[in-house]
Amino acid sequence: MRTPQRRMTLLATTAAATAALVTGGLLTAVSAQAAAGCRVAYSVASQWPGGFTGNVTVTNLGDPVSGWTLRWSYGAGQQVSQAWGATATQSGAQVSATNVDYNGTLATNGSASFGFNASWNNSSNPDPTSFTLNNVACTGGTTTPTTPSTPGTSGTPGTPGTPTTPPVPSDPPPSVPPPTGLVGWATQNGGTTGGGGAPTTTVSNASALTSALNATGAAVIRVSGTISCSGMLRVRSNKTILGNSGATIVGCGLNVSGDRNVIIRNLTFRDWNDDAINVQESATNIWIDHNTFSNGYDGAVDIKRGSDFVTVSWNRVFNHDKTMLLGHSDDNGAQDTGHLRVTYHHNWFDGSRQRNPRVRFGNPVHVYNNYYRANGGYGVASTENAGVLVEGNYFENVSDTYHLGEADSGPGRLVARNNHFVNSPAGQTGGSVASIPYSYQLDTASTVKSIVTAGAGAGRITV
- Show which residues are catalytic: 355
CB 105 within 8 A of CB 65: yes
Q: Tell me if residue 230 falls in helix, strand or coil.
A: strand
Residue 212's CB: how many other CB atoms inside 10 A? 21
Q: What burial class does residue 26 get, using C-beta atoms within 10 Å of its C-beta: 0-12 exposed, 13-18 middle, 19+ buried?
A: exposed
CB 283 within 8 A of CB 256: yes
| Residue type, position 275, single letter | D
CB 386 within 8 A of CB 362: yes
Q: Which residues pair with 359 in a beta bridge?
A: 326, 382
Comparing C-alpha atoms, which of 185, 188, 194 is closest to residue 259? 194
Dist CA 130 CA 85 (whole Å): 21
- Tell me the C-alpha to C-alpha distance, in Å, between residue 26 and each of 29, 105, 149: 10, 17, 20
Give the DSSP H or E segment for 333.
helix 333-336
CB 380 within 8 A of CB 372: no
Dist CA 357 CA 381 (whole Å): 7
- Classify residue 335 by its DSSP letter: H
- Tell me the C-alpha to C-alpha distance, in Å, between residue 10 and each of 42, 89, 132, 322, 341: 8, 21, 11, 52, 43
Dist CA 447 CA 419 (whole Å): 11
Q: Whole-angstrom distance between the N-terminal and C-terminal Cα of the chain?
A: 10
| Residue type, position 348, single letter | W
Dist CA 55 CA 112 (whole Å): 11
Q: Which residues pair with 20 in a beta bridge?
A: 29
